[in-house]
Structure 1
């Protein structure tokens, strides 16, 4: 995909294109994984529910000892020596978008606990269209999470167009939801 950064700056707190996450089939059955989820009040939640819970946490409530990286088909949770992969819903892709006016950061795999965008808690109008069939997937005014992102569960393996409007400014960009595409979109500059 053109125009999107492929390497994240580790200091930005977002995940890179290759951050060493396991590529094997995810498992939640280990005692270590259960303990990790329990310690962070996430026990019993699906991968999608963990994504939604962590992305919506106020900044001050985000666990400093937990890294949570959203990949196209799984969520990787890491705390100390523990690592756990949770599957995301079949056929769905989580795209996290941080529109900005003045400042942004490079990001590839959205980090639910450390990524921070410029426009936290702001209302933005979002339109997301599937370019293959013209279907409008999202047409709504949403409030960005405190971390400056808005997250959307979209169909996997599509190419689309995203438009964001905010405070008389607008930005439009293309995106894709394939296995090699970013889950973190920080290139949406409002002008």
Structure 2
């Protein structure tokens, strides 16, 4: 009994025993909202979460809704693939799934000829990795996976997609 009570106390302190709610998002920035959306999905919570060019949106099982503004940056959710993908414009953290889960990629982002980002990323259990980029710009995205490469244009304007599922990896 004491161990159960001690566990419940720790769970409450960490917020693990609390059901997802709009209150959990109060005061969070975009990065924290992203982490929470991913955590709720992995936990199997029935929270619908998605990202538009302006904000994260959350819809809770009890009908309540909440949002967290993205502010001055744009979030791209990218699911590179080899053989299967799905068409998408708005990324739903609660349901979109990519083919290559928990894989490591080398990613480059170019603005014209200038390299603005070069990093190694790992897709999550959902098969996506995320990139935070400045708004209102056009880029070229290059993704490498072993000897496979995918390259294409991306944009961060108010009508741009937040879910990128068209980057097919192929030999070059």
What interval of TM-score do these two structures reach, taking the shorter chain for normalisation? 0.7 to 0.9
Q: Aligned in 2, Cα 1:46/1:150: closer, same or farther, shift over 3 Å? A: same
Instruction: Indicate which of 150, 160, 165 corresponds to 2:129.
Output: 150
More displaced 10-residue stretch of structure 1: 120-129 or 44-53: 44-53
Give the 4+ runs in structure 1 shifted more than 6 A: none
- Larger RCO of the pair (alpha carbons < 8 Å, separation 6+): 1
- 2:69 alignment partner in structure 1: 87
Which one has a bigger Cα radius of gyration? 2
Deviations 1:104-147 (A, max 9, x none): 0111111111111011100111111123xx43222111111111
- 1:50 alignment partner in structure 2: 33
SS at match of 2:21: helix
More displaced 10-residue stretch of structure 1: 72-81 or 144-153: 72-81
Structure number with the higher helix fraction is 2
Structure number with the higher strand fraction is 2
Deviations 1:132-175 (A, max 9, x none): xx432221111111111010110000001001111211010101
**TM-score, normalised by the number of residues in structure 1:** 0.72
- Gap regions ≥5 residues in structure 2: 1-19
- Gap regions ≥5 residues in structure 1: 1-34
Say how many residue pairs are matched: 150
Structure 1 residue 42: Cα displacement? 4.5
Deviations 1:38-63 (A, max 9, x none): 4xx555422331113423x3964242
Alignment root-mean-square deviation, CA: 1.9
SS at match of 2:32: helix
